[in-house]
């Protein structure tokens, strides 16, 4: 009698679960460059669906030959429809520990984040995008550590150019990048952080502006000139006032309009009194 072949009935060797005798532990091993959906829990309204690029790694003891790569994707799939907050992101990192049976894991996701903004005069609404990176480190028996990095595009206008020119002043688009390490992930408020950073610049950016808005934006920047040094210092003062921030770093790069190079500055909380 003919029988159907059942692949599940065949015993297949699990090589990666075998022992290793070289005595070398691996601090981080896993998957990188994974493109997978992420549902973001919003402070108000419906969750925001984005596509994130993931890196998921675990620590591998010296005696273990390999980790279970497919289980990382299983965790992503299990959490795919869960609206994600910073606290939920840390719980997801802990789920990686549990699913792979390891002592610690590092989880990162980079994604575009969209805020709805109203133009300053016309009031027309449009979406503005920001690049965000979430990082979580989870280990058994300890609270997960969470970090958030966001890049905020703004406008800067040169105070020196304004002071020496009979009319006008050169200005440029700038990128302010902020990284915050939190004592608790609940304190990580992304919307408020972005809006706070924007308020420190000479001017903000919008996706949709009409002529009356362009007039306002141009004149507002002219009345708020800032060097790149001013920009990072003002953002640093803002970050110092945020609750439950363990450490921070802020960088600013001005893409100069009259030079073929950028102006750059950085402030790290480790060097701030």
Question: pLDDT tens across 171-220, in order?
Answer: 999 999 999 999 999 999 999 999 999 999 999 999 999 999 999 999 99
On whether residue 14 sits in a domain, the answer given is: no
d(CA 131, CA 177): 9
CATH of the domain at 161: 3.10.270.10
Residue 25 CB partners (closer than 8 Å, separation 6+): 59, 60, 61, 62
pLDDT of 3 above 60: no
On whether residue 9 sits in a domain, the answer given is: no
What pLDDT shows up at residue 270? Answer: 87
Count other Cβ atoms within 10 Å, centred on residue 271.
Answer: 8
Mean pLDDT computed over every residue of the chain: 93
Dihedral, CA of residue 55, residue 61, residue 66 and residue 69, to nearest 10? -30
Count other Cβ atoms within 10 Å, centred on residue 168.
Answer: 10
In the chain, DSSP assigns E strands to: 26-40, 48-60, 104-118, 125-139, 142-157, 171-182, 245-255, 262-268
What pLDDT shows up at residue 132? Answer: 98
Tell me the C-alpha to C-alpha distance, in Å, between residue 222 and each of 38, 157, 237. Answer: 39, 7, 22
What pLDDT shows up at residue 58? Answer: 95
On whether residue 75 sits in a domain, the answer given is: yes
Contact 226, 154 (CB under 8 A): no
b/e code 205-220 from CB counts within 10 Å (16+ = b): bbeebeeebeebbeee
Task: Report how many domains make up the chain.
Answer: 1
d(CA 217, CA 208): 12
Task: Give me the DSSP letters along 230-257.
Answer: HHHHHHHHHHHTSTTEEEEEEEEEEE-S
For residue 273, give the 3-state DSSP assignment.
Answer: coil
d(CA 157, CA 225): 5
d(CA 171, CA 152): 17
d(CA 146, CA 106): 10
Q: What is the pTM of this model?
A: 0.91
What domain range is 150 assigned to?
A: 28-271
Measured N-to-C along each axis, helices 228-240 and 190-199 cross at an angle, to the nearest 10 degrees, of 140
Percent of the chain with pLDDT over 70: 94
On whether residue 12 sits in a domain, the answer given is: no
């Amino acid at each position: 009698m003919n029988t159907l072949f059942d692949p599940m009935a065949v015993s297949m060797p699990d090589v990666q679960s075998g022992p290793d005798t070289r005595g070398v532990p691996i601090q981080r091993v896993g998957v990188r460059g994974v493109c997978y959906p992420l549902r973001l829990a919003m402070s108000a309204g419906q969750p925001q669906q984005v596509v994130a690029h993931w890196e998921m790694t675990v620590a591998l003891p010296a005696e273990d030959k390999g980790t279970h790569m497919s289980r990382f994707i299983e965790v992503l799939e299990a959490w795919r429809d869960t609206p994600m907050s910073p606290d939920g992101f840390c719980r997801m990192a802990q789920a990686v520990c549990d699913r792979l049976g390891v002592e610690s894991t590092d989880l990162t996701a980079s994604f575009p984040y969209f805020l709805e903004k109203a133009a300053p005069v016309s009031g027309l609404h449009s979406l503005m995008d920001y690049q965000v990176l979430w990082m979580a480190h989870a280990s058994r028996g300890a609270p997960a550590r969470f970090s958030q990095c966001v890049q905020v595009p703004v406008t800067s206008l040169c105070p020196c150019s304004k002071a020496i020119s009979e009319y006008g002043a050169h200005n440029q688009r700038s990128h302010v990048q902020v990284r915050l390490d939190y004592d608790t992930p609940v304190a990580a408020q992304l919307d408020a952080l972005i809006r706070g950073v924007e308020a420190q610049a000479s001017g903000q950016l919008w996706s949709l502006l009409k002529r009356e808005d362009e007039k306002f934006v141009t004149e507002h920047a002219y009345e708020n000139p800032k060097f790149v040094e001013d920009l990072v210092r003002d953002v640093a003062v803002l970050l110092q006032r945020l609750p439950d921030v363990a450490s921070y770093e802020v960088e600013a790069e001005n893409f100069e309009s009259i030079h073929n190079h950028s102006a750059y500055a950085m402030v790290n909380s480790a060097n701030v009194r």
